[in-house]
Amino acid sequence: MLELMLCSLLTILPDYLFRRFGQGKRFGKEITLYSVWFELRWGIVTCLMLTIGLITLIFYYHPSTNSATLYYRTVPIVPEINGRVAEVYVRGVSGEVEQGAPIFRLDSSTQKAAAESARRKIAEVEAAMVAAQSDILASEGKAQEARSALQQAIDELETKQELNRRGAGIVAVREIERLQNVVNGRQGSVAAATAAKQTAEAQFNTLLPAQKASAQAALAQAEVEIAKTTIRAGVKGRVEQFSLRSGDIVNPFMRSAGVLIPEGAGRKAIAAGFGQIEAQVMKVGMLAEVTCISKPWTVIPMVVTGVQDFIAAGQFRGGEQLIDAQQVVRPGTILVFLEPLYQGGLEGVTPGSSCIANAYTGNHELIESGKLSTSKKLALHAVDAVGVVHAMILRIQAIVLPIQTLVFSGH
């Protein structure tokens, strides 16, 4: 309507002034309801053509959308294990929580029993290590005793052999053979005692430490499982819709305990979906404006900080069925991220609020570059100038939106 009124001032009004003062025709006389089309046909046709061209120019170079929202991320409060709730630390259905603060705790009797079993196993292994030290000392004593007995048998054998060399027949051959057998037997005793000591040392240095390490690993695992029973806030934020109570069963695959909204979520940027035809126009750095339902009668200056290179409507997941292009019922939009031009621009706007967004094409730098002809400069000046019309439309929408919501929608 605003474009039509503007174009009529440039077409219909001059045509009427010519008919009135140039040809002397007056309303109600020569110009009536039935003859207005014939009398003002040039102005009306030109007005319609100019209006259509102006609307096309405005909406192409200065796109607008009603699909703008302050999206915010939510974190489901879900434990890593199944269990029954033993204690709830957040009172009520909502509340502020700090990062790392406990939210609720599951029953941990099974995990504590496993941890106590691991501690007992560690104590048992440590006692076995003390006993192994005693076995090493006992084996060392037996080995020393066997070496002494062997040395005594060797000395006695050598003495008898020396006497036998000096005088034949002094020592019986049978006696020398017996002493040789005694030496051989005591050498076996020394070897057995040494092997027993090595076994005790291997048990003390290798087997028992490995058993202790396994028990310590089991204890650490049990303590990790105990820690999992206390669910803590991963980020600072606010817990909402938290209706969990002691005795409830929580399953990480079927039921979450509530929702955690991170601090500052939905207060930094607005995500807006513009038409696909604006793909060549939307650029990072474009100025924009938004007005939101949750903050009526306010126009917030914004700037485009990101333009998504893909349209969500065209995505598919590989499977056993072929993709049919007719499955895309509605054409997708270009996702654009808008951030406030000034700090604190989104204060007072409730996260999740629906907004109306306008983006404005600016050609000032291109015009001032001196690389364009005069006609192109005039054309780009016209493109930038018609953005004022769109800005006026947005302000009219900002004024009418609360009235439309509260009065005409029945809310």
Residue range 143-156, pLDDT digits in tens: 777 777 767 777 77
pLDDT reading at 169 higher than 70: no
User: Whose CA is closest to 245, among 381, 359, 88, 352?
Assistant: 88
Confidence of residue 173 (pLDDT cuts 50, 70, 90): low
Q: Are 304 and 337 in contact (CB under 8 A)?
A: yes
The pLDDT, as a whole number, for residue 329 is: 67
Q: Which two tokens stand for residue 149?
A: 């007995």
Instruction: Give backbone dihedrals phi and psi of 243, rounded to 5 degrees, phi first.
Output: -110, 15
Strand ranges of the sheet holding 237-240, from the earlier edge strand across to the other edge: 75-77, 258-262, 237-240, 95-97
Entry pTM: 0.69
- Minimum mean pLDDT range among 132-146, 237-251, 301-315: 132-146
Q: Are 293 and 401 in contact (CB under 8 A)?
A: yes
User: Residues with Cβ < 8 Å from 359, sequence gap 6 or more?
Assistant: 62, 63, 64, 274, 278, 281, 282, 286, 287, 288, 304, 336
Please, what is the end-to-end C-alpha distance for the chain in angstroms?
Answer: 27
Instruction: Output the average pLDDT for the chain.
Output: 83
Q: How far apart are CA 300 and CA 307, in angstroms?
A: 19
pLDDT reading at 280 higher than 80: yes
Residue type, 130: V
Looking at residue 229, the DSSP 8-state letter turns out to be T
Q: How far apart are CA 406 and CA 411, in angstroms?
A: 5
